[in-house]
Amino acid sequence: MNTAMDDAATSHNIQNCPAKALLSVVVPTLNEANNISATLMNLVDKCSVPQLCEIVLVDGGSNDSTLNVVQACIPRLEERGLDMRIFRSKRGRAHQMNLGAEKARGNILLFLHADTLLPPDFDTSIRTALKSEHLTLGAFRLNTDKNTRSMQWICHCANLRARLLALPYGDQALFIRRADFMRVHMFPALEIMEDFAFARRIKRNKGKIFLLTDAVVTSARRWHKHGYIFTSLCNQMMIIGYYLRIPTRILARWYRR
């Protein structure tokens, strides 16, 4: 790629990420009535400057009380100066997050799973990291709400993978400049593994992926429901299946059984 073009893109990115840039937190939901209130309240509590953040929530057709819970949270968010907009879309995390990014008004995008809690001052940490012209995609270290030895080991391996291989997953709260996100054509339209494929796309485009020292806390419900060994093996099988080019609709069907 032309060096002059690279320099121009870098300059554009830096201008788009000043210390007071609006941060858009994109939250895809699907039947998350039991988790979404805690996630939204944590988000506003841990945000150092709520007035410089917005929440773009995209629901994929929940048939529980998710949207009622979300609506009940809005007054408390507005009291703290945090704006939230709600959109509906067809089901599919990649599609929901891409729609949220299109609707977002911020120059920085943070993709947050509905069962994941952010660390204190996450917005300041993100803006500080993205001041570096060399960094493209960022994520937080992974922790879970179950502090067992098994989960500690799983989180340790996940963080090691993210750091050494530069392959963070979506449950680590990915963040990126809006300009960079659009330039790599957003998340690929896959039924599953969209976060894995997106990180690989960033790497193929010579983008640098990095891991912050702060950790998010995500729900360990799948490991608890299906067991540590089975869930870990299942996750590895998804990666193997992806590399073997098994259609992601088949992988998703098997993963969600």
Query: Does 248 reside within a domain?
Result: no
Contact 133, 13 (CB under 8 A): yes
Count of domains forming the chain: 1
Query: What is the token pair recorded at 161?
Result: 């993978």
Query: Does 251 reside within a domain?
Result: no
Write the secondary structure of 79-113 as one string of H (helix), E (strand) and C (coil): HCCCEEEEEECCCCHHHHHHHHHHHCCCCEEEECC
Query: Does 175 reside within a domain?
Result: yes
Query: Does 99 reside within a domain?
Result: yes
Contact 116, 81 (CB under 8 A): no
User: H-type helices in the chain, by residue range?
Assistant: 3-16, 36-46, 66-79, 93-103, 122-129, 149-164, 178-183, 194-204, 221-226, 228-243, 248-255
Using alpha carbons only, what angle is made at residue 34 by residues 149 and 194, rounded to the nearest 5 degrees? Answer: 70
Query: What is the token pair recorded at 99?
Result: 């729609």
Question: What residues does 138 pair with on adjacent strands?
Answer: 175, 210
Amino acid letter, residue 198? F
Strands 116-117, 209-218: parallel, antiparallel or unpaired by DSSP?
antiparallel
What is the block-wise mean pLDDT of the chain (257 residues), using blocks of 10 residues?
Answer: 37 53 97 97 97 97 98 96 96 97 98 98 97 93 93 94 94 97 96 96 94 96 83 88 91 83
The pLDDT assigned to 18 comes to 64
Query: Does 239 reside within a domain?
Result: no
Query: Does 123 reside within a domain?
Result: yes
The pLDDT assigned to 230 comes to 83
Domain that holds residue 21: 3-220
Residue of 158, 140, 124, 123 whose CA lies nearest to 228: 158
Contact 250, 176 (CB under 8 A): no
Query: Does 166 reside within a domain?
Result: yes
The pLDDT assigned to 232 comes to 86
* Residue owning tokens 């059984």: 257
H or E stretch covering 143: strand 137-144
Our measurement of the distance from residue 256's CA atom to the centroid of its chain's CA atoms, rounded to an integer in Å, reads 20
Contact 114, 128 (CB under 8 A): no
The pLDDT assigned to 12 comes to 42
Cα distances from 72 to residues 33, 34, 57, in angstroms, run 11, 13, 14
DSSP state at residue 119: P
Non-local (6+) Cβ contacts of 190 within 8 A are 94, 197, 248
What CATH code is carried by the domain that includes residue 75? 3.90.550.10
Query: Does 107 reside within a domain?
Result: yes
The pLDDT assigned to 157 comes to 93
Q: pTM above the 0.75 mark?
A: yes
Contact 91, 60 (CB under 8 A): yes
